[in-house]
Amino acid sequence: MDHLKTQGISMPKLGLGTFRMQGDACRAAVESALSIGYRHIDTAEMYANEEAIGAAIAASGVPRGELHVTTKVWHENLNRDAIRRAFDASLRKLRLHHVDLYLVHWPSKAANWGAVFETLMTLKEEGRTRAIGVANFTTALLKIAVEEIRAPIACNQVEYHAMLDQSKVLAYLQPLAVPLVAYCPLAQGRFASDPVLADIGARHNATAAQVALKWLLDQDGVAAIPKASRRESQQANLDALKITLDDVDREKIAALAKDRRCVSPGFAPAWD
């Protein structure tokens, strides 16, 4: 599987998203994914599933050095003490000595970004997270983090798929060699009924969702973390890596409307 190199870590381009997975079902899903070759697991304190994921990792027998584990701090905890408390709790639940990537989950208008990133960088210096990053950051907020604070962010995780334009964020990140990690890469199932993607899939003996996922993963500096609880879906996402899209396919996908957002920006300031 292809990897992205960023801030001293190597992140598999395809990972497992776990939002809205909890308890035994979450543990089973992560165990299944690890057993068929996934090595990138994405979670967050807000998902309330870190304990289940920690149990799955412990049971899997996969060497820690082969895994990439991301978790996130919730927007309500963006001060020095709260970040540390949240981080300690996440590490304990995950049963890990360190995570590979620790993200600001959502921006907050009340955050002191200098203090936030100083705290995150201290966690990195202590070896408790190998890298730090952000999620749901606009280009304006990215400029604060990268240009003003000079935080060594390893990614920006945002909603991105074949029906949502993220060219502005990509245009900012790519020259910096900072990856975009796409959540909701399958638009929460909306691709299944799209005739254009279905037609492309028929030409490649693939589903519309597999075509959409491969379109993302073919892009430089883009990773994707589709949620998949069933082994069949997990395997289908892995099999999408085998598809070879051509220029005609990409032109058809580029022509799709790019204004369908699945997740509301909510409390993110100055969304653009």
Which residues belong to the active site? 47
Q: What is the largest CA-CA distance in the chain?
A: 54
Q: What angle do CA 126, 70, 258 make, to 5 degrees?
A: 135
Phi-psi region of 136 (alpha: psi -120 to 50; beta: other; left: phi over 0): left
